[in-house]
Structure formats: C-alpha cells, structure tokens
Structure 1
Amino acid sequence: MHDAAIARCLALSRQARAQQGGGPGTAMASSLADTLANLEAALEQLATHGVDAAELQPDAVLELDLAGYVKGWNSGAAHVFGYTAQEAVGQHVLFLYAPDDEDQTVAELFPRHAKGYADVRRRKKSGEVAWLRLANAELQNDRAEVVGMLVMFNLLDDPLSEADKVHLHARIIEDSDQGVLITDANERIVSINNAFTRITGYTPAEAIGQTPDLLRSGIHDAEFRVKVRAAMQGQGPWRGEIMGRRKNGELFPQSVTISVVRDQHGQISHTFSLFSDISVHKDAEARMQRMANYDALTGLPNLCLLSQLMGQALTEARRSREHGALLVVEISRIGAISDTLGHEIGNELLCEIGRLFRLSLREADVLAKLDGNRFAVALLHIEKREHAAIVAQKLMASLEAPIVIDGHRLQVGAHVGITVYPEDGTETPALLRCADVATSKAGQSVESGFLFYSEEMNLRAKEHLRLESELRQALGNGELQLYYQPKVSLRTGRIMGAEALLRWRHPARGMVSPGVFIPVAEETGLILELGKWVLEEACRQLTAWREAGVQAPTIAVNLSGRQFDSQLPERLAELLERSGVLPEQLMLEITESLLVRGTENVIAIMNKLVAMGMALALDDFGTGYSSLAYLKKFPISTLKIDRSFVIGLPDEENDCAIARAIVTMARQLRQEIVAEGVETPEQMAFLRGLGCHQLQGFLFSQAVPAAEFEAMLREDRRLTVEMA
C-alpha cells in the first residue's frame, strides 16, 4: 500500500477528530470516531484486494451495519450528498439511490467487486443524480466478526463540458432518425431536424415560422385534438399515434411524443415533438393481421377470424336473446378435379366458389374458408331458425350451373351442415363440431343436400321448404282461389262491401290455413306473385259480376308491405284499365307496420292512389304502431278494429275501453269504422251503440266462395241490426 494514500487517510481521520471539538462527545460523534478509527484497517484490507492506493482518497466516508443502515457519516459525505450527519444516520443507504435505479442489489453491502470498486449513480439531497466510484470493506470487531461495512465514495469528473454537451446534443438531434419539431411560446416552428424534412418533405425555409397545423390531416376528432392541445399547454407529456399529412398531400401514420420546456420561472418557453413515420410498421402489422385472419388462397376470413366474429355474436345473442346459425359447406369433387387438371385449376375453382357464395349472402353474413374444400357461413342474426335452410339452398343453387375455369366446364356439388345457436350450443368450437357432424350426415343422405344438427329443426326446415315448393306449384295449378267475407252496415243491415281472402285448396292436404302459407310467402318473396294474383283475380271477378248483371260492392284487397313501392300506382292503373274495373270498386287494406317505414315515401304513394279514386283501409288497427300522430298524416278512409279487441265485448272492461277509444278517435278523424270478428248479437249491439259503422264476422257470414257471395248479393241478404 502506498504511503501517500495511507497518509491521506490518516489526515482525514485527524481532521474529522479535530472537527469533533474538545467538548462532551455525543453518541453520534462516538460512532463517527469509531468509524474513522477503523479506516486504517479498512484501507489495508482494500489494498490486499488489489485496489490502487491512488484511488483510496475518498471524498465521502460512511459506515453501515450489516442491514444497510447508516451508522457513521463524515463531513465529506455531508459535502458530497448535502445531508448532515443528523439527517443521514439511522436511514437505510437506499435513500441515496436514484428513483430510476434498476439495480436489484445494494452495492454498498457487497465488497467483492471485480475491480475492487464500482461506478454507481447516487442521488443528492438537491435531487441531482451524480456518478461516484464506490469502494467498500468489511468492518470487524475484536473477535474478527464482521459487524458492518465501511463505504467510500469518490466523485467522478463530468467527461463533458457544457459546450461539449450542447454540441453533442445538437448533433444527436440533427442525426436522429426521429423527426424533431420545436415551437416557441406562440406555437411557431423555430427548429426542425433533417429527419423532419425527410419524413414530411418540408424544408426549414418552408416550415420555420409556420404552425404545426402544417402537418394536420384533418381526420382526427375534437376530443383527440383537445388531448394534444393539453400536452402543448404543459398539462403533461402525450404519447400516441397521429395521422399526419406530407407536403405532397399523402397521409401517413406517425408515433408522436409531445412535451414542453420551461424557463427558470416555470413558464413554457418551447414545445417539442418527436415523431417517427410508422407506415412501414403499419403495413407490416396489416400484413401480419391479414395472414393471421384471412385465407391466403381465397382472401376470405379464416377459422381464427370466424371464431372472433362468432364469439362477439354469441355474446350479443346471449344479451338480446336472438338466434343465429353456423353452416359448414363441404364441396364435392374438388380432389378429383385437382388430381386430373392440376392443383392450380382446383385452387381457382375454390376462389370462384367463394365468390359465388358471397353473392348469395347478405352483407352482414360471414363467409369463411376452412381447411381443404370446406367453407363456413355464419348467419349472425336470423328472424327464424328455418331461414338457415333457405340460405343453404341458395348456396347449393349457386353451384348448379357448371363453373368455367381456364376453358374447363367444371361441375361440383355441396352438402351443408347447419347448427343453430343458442339451442345447439353457445361456444364457437361446440357449434363447429355440431355443424361438422351435420355436414358428414348430409353427405351420406340422398334426400337433400343440407341437414340440421337438431332432428326437430331438420323436420321443420324441410316442411318449410316443401310448403314453399308446393305453393309455387299452386300458382300454376289453379289451386288458389278468393273467398269473400261480407261487410255489413250496422245501420241498415245490408252488405256494403267484402274483403277478398286468399285460400289454398291443396290436392292432398285439403284447405291450407293462410296462417301457415302466408308467412312462408312473406319470407321467400313469393308474396309478390301471390299479391299480384290476388289483385288480378279480384278485378277478373268484378268484371265477371258486372257482365252477369250483378252490382257488386267495393271489394277490399290486402296488400303486403313488399308490394307497397313507388311503382304500385302505375301497376294498379294498368290493371284497372285492362280489366275495366273502376278505382272506387277496389279498396286497399294495409297494416300499421307499413306506416312507420319511410313515412314521406309512403305518404306520396298513398296520395297517388287516393288521387286515382281508390280508398285505403287500415287493417288490424290497435295491434301495431297506432297513434294519432301517424293517422292524421295518412289519407286513410277506413279503420278496422282488430278481432282481438272485439272478442271480449261487452263483458271485458279493457276490451270495451279500447274499442270505445278507437271508435272515438276514428270519428274525430271522420273515418269509417269496421269491426272484425263479430260473432254474437251482444257484440254487435255494443259496437252499434258506440257508433261503429260496419261489422265483419261469423254473426253474418264467414268468408265464402265467389258464387255464394254472388247469391247473397242477388238475394239482397240482410242482417237484423235491432238493438238486443
């Protein structure tokens, strides 16, 4: 050990003892004296570990117990760290550690450093963080037991001058890959770096003096801009992604950090923004996302994305108690075609099948490509479970025609397995298993190309489709006919009109209830053909009665909402002209649900019909969206009280109140009132007493064929309407 180093340490010891003075010693002074007395032994111990004596001239010395608590603190420590001995003794040495120090060990307690010392960062009382060189040694008692640690710190000189720092920082900013934008207190750009010009296209001459709005894309909402503005006004740094605009007008995504610089008075002097062009990262992220969620061959969603979308739909279905379905479609003959014509042809064929399937589905339906020759279709919302079978038929029908690929006319088939949620399951994997089972069984069936997982649903769907097929045949086979239910005046008892009602006489089933086949017609779009047939048949019958010398009253025909479009007046005008029927001989009955669908368009159509001389009746009044607000807007001439409100008359208090309210409202609006479903004299008497104009029901007659209605007209059959 060098004598100079030892002499230096002894001098420090004597100086410290002199500073203690000759007065009565305190416990702290005694502790410090003990520490300094051990210093020579500690120096010798450090020297034995190869520490250069020239480095053992500490600027600060402190003593720790084995737990790391300060027991001794010399004046050098007070000078270096700014804490007095009274403030330091008793604290754990960790109070000197910087807040962001990630070292998991307490260096002061471990003397075996590779070099005999360690360079560390420690925090002063002022908050400044300084670099120091740390050397330490064990302290032993008379029995050679380790009782603590002697720790010495040397201040390390700052390797850079202030001028060097400024130059270095400026060079780093200028050469950074990140764009740097600095504005003054007036938000004017005062400095940019090379990366700013490279990323945005603006040179210093073009940018300096402007505001950051130079880069504004205009696509962010007000709330977003408020957050950025808050950061520029010193309310804390902001980090995030912003869409910027380059000089050439191109939009680009950027990762941005915005913060402020304050002067010695705490006022904001400058704002700086650091940003990076992350277009490449976004593009890579999008490619990764696409690879993870889409089939590489067809571009359709894959099983991963299908599972995500199904998961969201199942959560929503549980909350709203809605239904949905999952279909698995397996394409036949793909393997044979690929083996014969090559995999390229097979792949192109799969892509074309995906395109055909997409055209057969609604926008909201999800079409996904599973493995091999299998597709999946998620119907995230269906009104009726049987609708899934209609979709399955559409998918299979799209493959009926040969598909031309590279000059080859290729014919493929498909079988479809259908599972319905929540009945068959509430988790995507379970539903896929059910659909796979159904697909496999459908492939073994010769009856049809689709199969529900649930046997009950399978039977219902097949019955639904069978009914649709037979109804289409009924149109051409003359199985449909119109029956007429008279409307009778409650004042005179005479027939004032009739409602034309569609009936289906099935060759095997007999009479099929309209409650069975009308919903099927509505769901499949067949209602348009049926509605057209009903109008033409009603006009034909009116013509036949006229030619037979029968003076027929007004005939009411029910219209579906699907028929009520802008072309309806023109179609009716052409029909009336062709048949020779007068407009006042036809009344059109509509339902309340039509009134809330595109009000302005509906009113325009109604006004055209009324201008033609036709009357409009509102059927089943009180069961839908009834309100004066609607009724006063529409040129309705007749209100029909639904049979559900008539059945309880005159005994049910609620039915009486509703019927009275409807009649009162209709009379205020000067509308004719027809009560449906009147079956008893008591019901008739009550309605007549309210001021109801007409009744329709079994009390006078059920719906009858045209010949029977004609007989009623010839006989001038009447209803006895005297009060009961």
Structure 2
Amino acid sequence: MADALLRRCLDLCRELRAADGASGAPAALAELEHLLTALSTRAAAALPLQMRIIEQLREPIITMDLAGYVTGWNAAAEELLGYTAAEAIGQHILFLYADEAGGAVPDEMPELFLDNGSSFFEVRRRKKSGEVFWAGMSLSTIQGDDGEPLGLVAHLTEITNRRAAEEQLRLQARVIEKSEQGILITDADERIVFVNAAFTQITGYTAAEAIGRTPDLLRSGVHSADFRAEVHAAMAGAGPWQGEIVGRRKNGELFPQSVSISVVRNEAGEVTHAFSIFSDISILRATEERMQQLANFDPLTGLPNRTQLGQLLGQALASARRNDRHGALLVIDLFRFTSINDTLGNDVGDALLREVGSRLRGALRDEDVLSRVGGDEFVVALFDIRKREHSAFVAQKLLRVLGEPFVIAGHKLYVGASIGISVYPGDGLETADLLRFADVAMKRVQKSGETGYLFYSPEMDRRARENLRLEGELRNALANRDLLLYYQPKVSLRSGRIVGAEALLRWRHPDEGMIGPAVFVPIAEETGLIFDLGEWVLDEACRQLRAWLDAGIAARPVAVNLSARQFDARLPERVQAVLDRHRIDPRLLRLEITESLLVRAPEVVIPIMNQLVAMGLALALDDFGTGYSSLAYLKKFPISTLKIDRAFVVGIPGDDNDCAIARAIVTMSQQLRQETVAEGVETEAQMRFLQELGCDQLQGYLFSPPVAADAFADMLREDRRLAGVVPASSSID
C-alpha cells in the first residue's frame, strides 16, 4: 500500500510539471499534500514499533540508510561497541572501521551489498575504547513494497575468540595428522569419525574404510568379555584408561598395542566423543618375550625352568607366610626314560619328553605350575590347596595319565613315574628345603621299584592314603546302599514326650563295622560327594516317614542336615519333588543349616530360605554359638529353631561361662519367639538347669543315643517319656 501511495505522489509531481501553473495544479497539489500526510502518519506509527523490536533484540543491530549513515543503534550494539545511540546515529558507518584498509567508501556500499539482497563478512572493527576485534557481520537490505531498497541492517557478532580457537584447532589438527601414534576418534555412538595417517599405517585401514564403523573393526577376539567391558566403559566416560590391547590388522595379523583412552564432554557433562591414542609395540614385545623365554623357560618343552620355578615358588611362599596358606611340591622322575633315549635316540627321547609335559599340563589346574628342571625330572607346584592331602589326589591323577602308552615315531612306549611330595608350611617355607624334601620322598619311591607317590612326612603319607581308600569305599557304599540313617529323639522339657528326631548318617562298613559321619563327611566335603550324600539322606528320611505313617505310627517331624553344596536356587524344587514322591506333609520335615551358610551370601540365601518356609518347612540353626552368631542374622533369616551346641552344654551347670552362654541363647530365642533345642544332654543336672532356663527341648544320651528306624518306631508306639519331667499338659509338647 505504501509503495502505491509513493507512485501516486510521483505521478502528481509529473502532472504539476506538465500543468506549469494550469488550472489543474491546485487540485493536484491538494491531493499530493493529502497523500504525503497519510504516508507520514503511517511511517510515524510504524517506526516506533520497529525500533522497539530492534531495541529488544539481544544481538547488536545497526540500521543505515543507503549512503551508509547510521539510522538505528540498539542497546546490544551500545554494549558491544561502547557508543551510545546518540553518539552513533548520524555518523557514517566508517567511524567503526579499524585503521587498516578494510571498508568500502560510502558511494560504493549499495553496489557491494544490494545485488544479492544480503551478505556475510568477517571484518575487523574498532570499539570506542580503541580495542580492535574480529566480528561477523550479516548485512541485509530493507526493501519497500515495490522491492526497491530503502536502507541497510547490519547484525554484528564478536568472533575474536572463535578465530583464535580456529587457529588453535588448525594447529592441533596438523599435530594430530603428523603424529607417529595412531589416533582414532569416535562419536557418542562409538562410530569412528576420524583417523590419522599413522592409524592407516599401523592397521592397514584407510580413513574411508574406518570412518562410520566401530573400533570393533580392530577386535582380535583374544580378550575376555570383562576386559572389553572395561574398555567400553572408558569410551563411555567411566574414566581414562591405559593399558595394552591385542588388535587385528586389516590383513588379519594380530599385534600388541599400547593404548590410552579418554573422552570429550560438552558443557552439560555429556560424552560427545572418545579418542584412542595407540602405538604398535609388537617389535618391543617380541624382543622381551624372546629374552624371557630364553631366561625362564625350557627350550624343549616350553615349560618353566628351574629359575622360573624358583621365582614363582618364592612369591608363593611369601604369600603363604602372610596368609597362612597351604601348598605342595611334587617332584616327578620318569621310569625307563634313560633306556628309551639310549635305545631309540635323542629325537624320540625329546618327543617323549614333550608329550609327557603336555599330558601332565593337561591334568593340572590353570593356576598350578609345571616345570621341567632337567633331564626327565619335572616339578609340579600346587600353590593353593585347602587340605594337605589334596596333593595326593593330584599325584594319583598324574600317575594315571602317565600310565597310558605313548606312541612316538611308531613306537608304543610305556613310562611310569616316582613322585615325592613336600608340603608347606608343614615341611618348611624355604624353596630349597621343600625341593630337597620332595626329592628325598621321590627317591624312596624309586627304591621300591614301583610307580607311586610318597609324602615326605610318614604320618601325612599314611593319612593321605587312608583318605584315598575311604573315598573309594564311600563311593561304593553310596552305590551299594551300605549307608543308613539313625534317629536321635528330641524330647520336650515341658512334657517329657518325644516331639521329633534328627536323622544322622551312618556307614555300615563291611570290615570296620559302623562308621560315624565325623570320619567320612569331611572326605565327602573335599571330594564333592557331599551333594550326593545329602540328597540321599533327604530322600531316605522322607521314605522312612512314609513307612511309619503307612504302619499307623504317629510320626514326629524329622530334621535333616543340609550341606552348603545343596543350598542352591534349585533346592526348593528338589525338596518339593522328594515330598511329592513320598507323599509327606512338609510339616513333618525340618531342615537344619549351619551358621557358616548364613554369612556366605545373604542376598542369595534369604530368598531360598523364604521359599522353603513358604512351602511349610521349618528351618533350624544347628550348632548355634560356634560360628558367626549374631542377633542381626537371626532377625534377617526365617529361622524357627536354635540348637545349642553340645560344646556349651557339657560344662553346665558347673561352668559359669557355659551357663552364661546357654542362658544368653535361650533368652535371645525367647525374645525372637524361636524354640531352643539343647544338644548333647547327658545328665539330669544339665536337664534341670536347661528346664529352669526355659529351654524347649533336649537331645542327647540322657534320653537316648541315635537308634535305628525300628527302635525309634518302638519308642513312638510306647510313648516313651523323659524321666524327671512333670508334664505341664496332656499335649504332645
């Protein structure tokens, strides 16, 4: 609309010039005056609004007429340049130029900027203070409704710091590109966005082949999942990481690299990029490994030599002194090797030694050390064994693998071995002594002329052989059903009646008669047989309960001891299967656990215990007070019964300490609404003291030793009572 009014004004001017005072002139002048008045009114109304908008903008804005004279100057421009609007408006824009030649003269400005309607420049300008700075200037035209330019708008942004940063970045980029170390940069999604020339030289991958892929491009596959997770965590911002990684080149070759990983974060603390700086150290590692191999390993078998064995054994013995750990040395000397080597030649002898080393290594744990110390003599170091006798199991295993024939160069060869064993700390804590003791024991075996092993200590040798014998016989007993359960009654101290029993395992040995669990259960624990034994006891107790019920006997709850090996996530399922198989009410079965189980892993144990209780089973804590007892455990675990260990019963009522402990346990149990059972009660004085304390039940020879199932059934039929107990009611308890 405004441009139409202006065109009309121009037309009127032409008419006035043509009329030259004619009669139409006054009318034309009147119309022109009206139009100009209208335009002036509109402009006056629009200008304050435009200026208010410009004034509110946070960016520096300068308006100029087409000649370059300042017509507008907002507060942001004043803040940036230091001039007030009053000082700037009316001046030519050149007053802001720096001294250097860098600006167009006023008459040239429209031609520079108006062709394309807008332009962007990076220019140097001077503030009122005299400071010269770099600015980004966006210059645009103000156009009228007819498309004709009316003026200019300049938008300034200070970029001095950015220009310096850009120069710094260009310098850093040159350093990165020329670095002899490989550099790899990934984005937040672990996609490669940059690699330098050294990366290509080391890995064989060009930038085009690497960018857009992940660092798994170089993955070798030799590292564990935990190791890879640690590296990925560093790339995700968990913290700087340095170490050695085995990578894979483009040609498939593996190579060791020394790597440093860090991340870049934005202002919000978010990881935007990760960068890895790495060097190829394959030549260095190859040299080091070769030197170490020559110094510490047997060139024939590749096994540690005597020097390396001494170093490893020295470290293990130092640890054993600090931590009271057990270990053993096994010196192995082959039979008939000298004869084979002399008869068939060194090549066959060397091949036989390599095969012997391979078999022995395969029979050991990863943490065990196998060394060839010279000729046909090998040494095994067991640096961590729970029991000293465990080394006998290892010796037997090694003799077994050596007993198989070796086929070398078409020859079927048989070799045996003599093994001498020394243990620490029992036999000493010095490397030389232990090797000498084991060598002495080995030579004693050699004198017998037979393959075998021998401990340096005669007593230990006897014990180890005895345990091995018992282990084999125990396995046969389990398979041949030579095991049976005895039942020791639990008696109420209120009524004197039998309220339950504990199932106790017995071994009916063909030669030695009845053997108690104290003899064979530790062996079962060591060898892993305890799981099978525990499952058999659980099944046999439920089978016996069903037999009593079918015979019309009012059976009482039977308690079964559980080992830690049985206590896993599938225990409730296995127990339920046994109950279902024998049709037993869960209230007739009680499970006894030890205190050591409670502290093993509460977060694992508690859910299992809760499942068992939800099934209707009651849980008892056996041998309470001998382990890690605390009120905190009793609050956390769904225990219904505490059993006072016989160690605290034997001294009452004469021993003040035992009396105090028994009293504390009973009091604690009463406060937690748990029943108490005292084990090992043998005298009436003990019974009366426990009665006075408020103990609920006793178990011991005062009433009955453990008896066979038939004898216990007779007690139930006869309703046998504990003498000296006055029944408080006619109920069972």
Do both proteins adopt the same fold according to a TM-score greater than 0.5, normalized to the shorter chain? yes
Residue equivalent to 2:593: 590
Residue equivalent to 1:493: 496
Of 398-407 and 473-482, deviating more is 398-407
Inter-partner Cα distance in structure 1 for 2:428 and 2:698: 50
Inter-partner Cα distance in structure 2 for 1:195 and 1:615: 71
Inter-partner Cα distance in structure 2 for 1:278 and 1:520: 51
Residue equivalent to 1:564: 567
Residue equivalent to 1:281: 284
Q: Which amino acid aligns with 2:374?
A: D
Match of 1:482 among 475, 481, 485: 485
Relative to the length of structure 1, the TM-score reads 0.61
Deviation at 1:460, TM superposition (A): 2.1
Residue equivalent to 1:463: 466
1:274-673 → structure 2 map (5 Å cutoff): 279-334=282-337, 347=350, 349-402=352-405, 411-445=414-448, 449-673=452-676
Inter-partner Cα distance in structure 2 for 1:244 and 1:297: 27
Q: Which amino acid aligns with 2:665?
A: I
Deviation at 1:417, TM superposition (A): 0.8
Structure 1 residues 492-526: Cα deviation after superposition (integer angstroms, max 9, x where no partner)? 11101011111234333333342222212211222
Residue equivalent to 2:725: 721
Distance 1:717 1:327, change over 3 A: same
Inter-partner Cα distance in structure 1 for 2:492 and 2:410: 72
Inter-partner Cα distance in structure 1 for 2:410 and 2:576: 49
Inter-partner Cα distance in structure 1 for 2:259 and 2:695: 74
Inter-partner Cα distance in structure 1 for 2:171 and 2:664: 69
CA contact (8 A) 2:553 2:717 kept: yes
Deviation at 1:485, TM superposition (A): 0.7
Q: Which amino acid aligns with 1:490?
A: L
Deviation at 1:403, TM superposition (A): 5.5
Match of 2:636, SS state, is coil
Distance 1:503 1:194, change over 3 A: closer
Match of 2:685 among 676, 679, 682: 682
CA contact (8 A) 1:219 1:243 kept: no
Q: Which amino acid aligns with 1:443?
A: Q
Residue equivalent to 1:696: 699
1:115-154 → structure 2 map (5 Å cutoff): none
Q: Which amino acid aligns with 1:503?
A: R
Inter-partner Cα distance in structure 2 for 1:290 and 1:199: 31
Relative to the length of structure 2, the TM-score reads 0.60
Distance 1:410 1:571, change over 3 A: farther
Deviation at 1:452, TM superposition (A): 0.9
CA contact (8 A) 1:623 1:642 kept: yes
Deviation at 1:418, TM superposition (A): 0.2
Deviation at 1:447, TM superposition (A): 7.2
Deviation at 1:428, TM superposition (A): 1.5
Deviation at 1:336, TM superposition (A): 5.6
Distance 1:445 1:560, change over 3 A: farther
Structure 1 residues 361-404: Cα deviation after superposition (integer angstroms, max 9, x where no partner)? 33432222332333221112333222211221222233454556
Inter-partner Cα distance in structure 1 for 2:573 and 2:398: 35
Q: Which amino acid aligns with 1:574?
A: A
Inter-partner Cα distance in structure 2 for 1:545 and 1:661: 37
CA contact (8 A) 1:414 1:449 kept: yes
Inter-partner Cα distance in structure 1 for 2:451 and 2:606: 46
Q: How many residues align?
A: 502
Match of 2:467, SS state, is helix
Inter-partner Cα distance in structure 1 for 2:570 and 2:345: 51
Distance 1:221 1:252, change over 3 A: farther
Distance 1:336 1:701, change over 3 A: same
Q: Which amino acid aligns with 1:639?
A: L
Structure 1 residues 162-190: Cα deviation after superposition (integer angstroms, max 9, x where no partner)? xxxxxxxxxxxxxxxxxxxxx98999477
Structure 1 residues 313-333: Cα deviation after superposition (integer angstroms, max 9, x where no partner)? 112222333332111123335
Instruction: Give me the CA root mean square deviation.
Output: 4.2
Unpaired stretches in structure 2, ≥5 consecutive residues: 1-166, 182-195, 208-229, 235-239, 261-277, 728-733
CA contact (8 A) 1:641 1:673 kept: yes
Inter-partner Cα distance in structure 2 for 1:297 and 1:244: 27
Deviation at 1:557, TM superposition (A): 1.3
Q: Which amino acid aligns with 2:725?
A: V
Structure 1 residues 25-59: Cα deviation after superposition (integer angstroms, max 9, x where no partner)? xxxxxxxxxxxxxxxxxxxxxxxxxxxxxxxxxxx
Of 540-549 and 187-196, deviating more is 187-196
Inter-partner Cα distance in structure 2 for 1:611 and 1:220: 43
CA contact (8 A) 1:593 1:624 kept: yes
1:10-29 → structure 2 map (5 Å cutoff): none
Residue equivalent to 1:48: none
Inter-partner Cα distance in structure 1 for 2:429 and 2:526: 26
Distance 1:625 1:374, change over 3 A: same
Unpaired stretches in structure 1, ≥5 consecutive residues: 1-182, 207-217, 223-227, 229-239, 257-274
CA contact (8 A) 1:255 1:278 kept: no
CA contact (8 A) 1:184 1:190 kept: no
Structure 1 residues 441-480: Cα deviation after superposition (integer angstroms, max 9, x where no partner)? 2233367611112222222222222222333333345543
Match of 1:700, SS state, is coil
Q: Which amino acid aligns with 1:464?
A: N
Distance 1:252 1:511, change over 3 A: closer
CA contact (8 A) 2:178 2:197 kept: no
CA contact (8 A) 2:646 2:681 kept: yes
CA contact (8 A) 2:495 2:726 kept: no
Q: Which amino acid aligns with 1:721?
A: V
Structure 1 residues 533-589: Cα deviation after superposition (integer angstroms, max 9, x where no partner)? 322332332232223222221111112212222333333333333333333222111
Deviation at 1:279, TM superposition (A): 4.3
Q: Which amino acid aligns with 2:593?
A: I
CA contact (8 A) 1:200 1:245 kept: no
Residue equivalent to 1:711: 714
CA contact (8 A) 2:418 2:453 kept: yes
Q: Percent identity?
A: 60
CA contact (8 A) 2:257 2:280 kept: yes
CA contact (8 A) 1:202 1:247 kept: no
Match of 1:624, SS state, is coil
Deviation at 1:298, TM superposition (A): 3.4
CA contact (8 A) 1:200 1:246 kept: no
CA contact (8 A) 2:557 2:587 kept: yes
Residue equivalent to 1:69: none
Inter-partner Cα distance in structure 2 for 1:539 and 1:276: 67
Inter-partner Cα distance in structure 2 for 1:386 and 1:241: 41
